[in-house]
Amino acid sequence: MLHLHLTAIIVAVILFIAVYGMYKKNNTRDNKAAFITHMVLRVFYLIVLFSGLMVYVGNMEGISNSGGHMTYGIKVLLGILTIGFMEMAIVRLKKNSAKATVLMVICLAVIIATVIMGATLPLGMLSF
């Protein structure tokens, strides 16, 4: 499940950059390619969410035994926030809102924080 989580995250981030670039070029209603890519991105949000929850629930016992409730809780919260900010950044750009750049910066910060946290937690590739 962790492999699915990681693969889905990588695909989602690539799609996010693609959708962002496409709407940046043309954010009118007739940008069908951007609309379809955005829909595919939304499917990947669900895969990231589902696989993350499965890893969390599947390792509940180990998490309890290691006393890692708090850190895992924060990881899950950061993950959900990341998905929320990714979607908000795109929708604001699509609507030509002045807040689009601010949201993009917040979004990048939460993505980086979530990746660092996930990778350094016990199951992550960077944990010791």
Contact residues toward ligand HEM (CB under 6 A) are 2, 5-6, 9, 12, 48-49, 52-53, 55-56, 72, 75-76, 79-80, 82-83, 111, 114-115, 118-119, 121-125
Reading the block at residue 82, the tokens are: 């990341």
- Calculate the CA dihedral of residues 69, 75, 79, 81 and round it to 10 degrees: 90
Closest approach, Cβ 21 to ligand HEM, in A, equals: 18
Which lies closer to ligand HEM via its Cβ, residue 31 or residue 80? 80
State the nearest-atom distance from the C-beta of 75 to ligand HEM, in Å. Answer: 5
Write down the residue that tokens 């290691």 correspond to: 66
For the CB of residue 14, give the shortest distance to ligand HEM in the complex, in Å: 12
| Alpha-carbon span 121 to 18, nearest angstrom | 29
Spatial distance between the Cα atoms of 38 and 19, rounded to a whole number of angstroms: 6
